[in-house]
Amino acid sequence: MRHYYTADQIREAEAPLLASLADGALMRRAAHGLATAITRYLGGVSGRRVCAVVGSGDNGGDALWAATFLRRRGASATAVLLKPEHTHAKALAAFTASGGRIVESVPTATDLVIDGVVGISGSGSLRPDAAEVFEHVSAPIVAVDIPSGIDVHTGAADGPHVHAALTVTFGGLKPVHALGDCGRVELIDIGLDLPHSDVYELEAADVATRWPIPGPKDDKYTQGVTGILAGSAAYPGAAVLCTGAAVAATSGMVRYAGSAAQQVLSQWPEVIATPSVSTAGRVQAWVVGPGLGTDDTGAAALWFALETDLPVIVDADGLTILAAHPDLVVNRGAPTVLTPHAGEFERLAGSPPGDDRVGAARKLADSLGVTVLLKGNITVIAEPGGPVYLNSAGQSWAATAGSGDVLSGVIGALLAAGLPPGQAAACAAHVHARAANLSAADPGPRPAPTSASRILAHLRAAIASL
C-alpha cells in the first residue's frame, strides 16, 4: 500500500531527525540516494555529463550535493545557479571543490539535467528565469522531490513546469506523485518515522488480499447476489456490459431487472433476468444507472434501490436523476457509492472538481454522506469522513464509451460480496484499469485501441493476474 503525505507531515517527521543528526547530514543522505538513483537511470555515470539547475532552497542543496557525488564517480558536472546569492553555501563549496563548474545555461551536450529549483514548499509555476532555462533542455530531467512548477498537493500545473522523466523523492510520497506529471517516481528512505496517512493507493497485493474468493462452504447466495438496474430501449448495451462485468467479477449470482432482459440473456445465460424490479428477487447490492434513461421509469428504479437497506452504486443516468434529488442519499443508512465523471460531478456538487480533485471529492462525500469515486486517469475515491484512495490507470485505455458501465458492475459485485464501499470502489478501479491495459496489449506487443467490450473480456485475466 502506498501512503501519500502532505508537506507539513513530511516536515514534522523530519524535525526530530534533523535535531539528532549533524548539520547537513540529512541533506547529504538524501542527495546520496538521489545520485544513486541517477546512476541507475543512466546505467553508470563515468564519462556522462550532468547539469544541475539550482534554486535557493534545500532542493538546490540536494541537487548540488548529488552532482558532487556524481562528479566523484567520474561524471562531468555543471550547475546553473538561478539565485547565486541564496544558493546553499556548503553544497556549493563541495560542488566546486570536486571540480564542478558554474555555467549560465545548460550545455547542449548534457546527458541529464537535475531539477533542483523548488521543493515541497514551493508554489505556482516556474518563474520566468527558470522557465527560460528549461525551455531549451532536450536531455532527460530528474526532479528532486517534485517537478518544479507542479503543485505538491493537487498535482496541478497552471503554467510552465518541469516535465520530468524521473522524480526522486525522500521519506514519503506526496499527493503530486500520484496526481501530477512526475514521470517515474522513486522513493528514497532517509529514515523518517511516518505514521499511516489517510490518502493512499492499493497495490496489486492489497487488492488480491481483499478480493472475494469462495470458501469450501460457500454457495451462490453466500458469495453475494448482485442486482442490476440498467439499460433501456435506447441503450441496451449498457445493461449487457454492466451485467457481464458483475458476472466476471465472481458474483455468486447476478439478477437483472429491466427492458434489456432479452439482450442480457443472449450474452449471459447464467443471469436471472426479469423485466421489472417487482419480480427481481433478493439481492445483496444494487447497481443503478448505466443506460437507464432519465424518464419516470429510470427515476422509479433509482427510488426503489435507494429505499432499500442494501448497498447501492449509482452511475451515469442515475447520477443525473440524483443531481435533482440529492436528498435521496443524504443520511442514507446503507452504503452508497456514486461514480461521477467531471461533468456529472459538477451537476451533483454545483461546481466542477477543479484542480484539487481530492479536496473536491472529499467535500462531496462529506456533504452527501456517500462514497464518491471521481473518474479520471487518476481515480479519486473519497469516503465520508474517512480515507481517500487514489488509483493510477497508467494509461487512458479505459477512457472509452461503455467503460464506466463495466466499472459499475464490478463495484456492485464487490459490494454484494460484503466489501466496505471505499475498498470495493478502490479494488474495482484497480482491476478495471488493469483489464483495460491488458485489453490494449492483446494480442500483440504494441498497444492498440480497445473498447468496453474488450475491457470486459479481460476482467477475469486481470483478476487472475493478482
pLDDT mean over 296-317: 96
pLDDT score at 400 = 80
Report the C-alpha gap between 39 and 46 in whole angstroms.
Answer: 9
CA distances from 262 to 127, 227, 248, 265, 274 (A): 61, 16, 19, 5, 9
Q: Is 227 marked within a binding site?
A: no
The pLDDT of residue 401 is above 90: no
**Of 104-113, 145-154, 444-453, the least confident:** 444-453
**Is 379 within any annotated ligand binding site?**
yes
Query: What gap in Å lies between CA 14 and CA 25, rounded to an integer?
Result: 12
User: Cell 520566468 appears where?
Assistant: 128
Alpha carbons 88 and 446: distance in angstroms, whole number: 46
Q: Is 151 annotated as a binding-site member?
A: no
Strands 371-374 and 336-338: parallel
Q: Which residue has the higher pLDDT, 9 or 250?
A: 9
Taking the CA atoms of 318, 391, 184 and 465 in sequence, report the sign of the dihedral they define: negative
120 marked as part of a ligand binding site = yes
Confidence of residue 397 (pLDDT cuts 50, 70, 90): low
The reply, when asked if residue 405 is annotated as ligand binding, is yes
**Within 10 Å of residue 359's Cβ, how many Cβ atoms?**
16
Give the whole-angstrom CA distance, residue 172 versus residue 267.
Answer: 47
What pLDDT does residue 212 have? 94
Residue 115 annotated as lining a ligand binding site: yes
Annotated ligand binding at 382? The verdict is: no
Q: Is 318 annotated as a binding residue?
A: no
Q: Is 356 annotated as belonging to a binding site?
A: no
DSSP state letters, 275-323: SSGGGS---SEEEE-TT--SSHHHHHHHHHHHTSSS-EEE-THHHHHHH
β partners of residue 390: 380
Specify the pLDDT at position 240.
98
Residue 96 has pLDDT above 80, yes or no: yes
Q: Tell me if 378 is assigned to a ligand binding site.
A: yes
Q: Is 189 annotated as a binding residue?
A: no
Band of pLDDT at residue 101, cut at 50, 70 and 90: very high
Q: What is the pTM of this model?
A: 0.94
CATH of 204-464, one of 2.40.40.20, 3.10.290.10, 3.40.1190.20, 3.50.50.60: 3.40.1190.20
Instruction: Tell me: is residue 193 an annotated ligand-binding position.
Output: no
pLDDT at 90 over 70: yes
Q: Is 295 annotated as a binding residue?
A: no
Instruction: Judge whether 386 is annotated as a binding position.
Output: no
Beta strands in 23-170 (DSSP E): 49-54, 76-81, 101-103, 112-116, 141-144, 166-170
Degrees, nearest 5: CA angle 459-465-466: 100
Is 103 within 8 Å of 51 (Cβ atoms)? Answer: yes
**Region class of 151: left (phi > 0), else alpha (psi between -120 and 50), else beta:** beta
Q: Where are the domains of the chain?
A: 2-197, 204-464
Mean pLDDT value across the chain: 94
pLDDT, tens digit (0-9, with 9 covering 90-100), for 159-199: 999 999 999 999 999 999 999 999 999 999 999 999 889 99
Evaluate if residue 398 carries a pLDDT over 70.
no
Residue 197 marked ligand-binding: no
Is 321 annotated as contributing to ligand binding? no
291 assigned ligand-binding residue = yes
Q: What is the pLDDT of residues 1-44, one digit of tens each?
A: 999 999 999 999 999 999 999 999 999 999 999 999 999 999 99
Contact 141, 149 (CB under 8 A): no
- Do the beta carbons of residue 163 and residue 148 sit within 8 Å? no
Q: Which long-range contacts (CB under 8 A, 24 or more apart) does 211-216 make?
A: 211/250, 211/414, 211/427, 211/431, 211/463, 211/466, 212/250, 212/414, 212/417, 212/418, 212/419, 213/250, 214/250, 214/252
| Burial class for 269, CB neighbours closer than 10 Å (0-12, 13-18, 19+) | exposed
Asked if residue 437 belongs to a known ligand binding site, the reply is: no
SS3 state at 432:
helix
74 is in an annotated binding site: no
Q: CA–CA distance from 12 to each of 78, 164, 203 (Å)?
A: 33, 27, 26
Q: Where are the beta strands (DSSP E) in 58-159?
A: 76-81, 101-103, 112-116, 141-144
Residue 124 marked ligand-binding: yes
The verdict on whether residue 375 carries a ligand-binding annotation is yes
The percentage of residues in the chain with a pLDDT greater than 70, rounded to a whole number, is: 99
CATH fold group of domain 2-197: Rossmann fold (3.40.50)
Q: Please say if the pLDDT value at position 395 is more than 80.
A: no
**Residue pLDDT, tens place only, 113-123:** 999 999 888 78
Q: Which residue has the cell 534545500?
A: 58
Q: What is the DSSP string of 163-220?
A: --SEEEEESSB-THHHHS---EEEEE---------SEEE--HHHHHHHS----TT--T
Nearest Cα to Cα of residue 59 among 153, 130, 135: 130
- In this structure, the chain runs to a length of 466
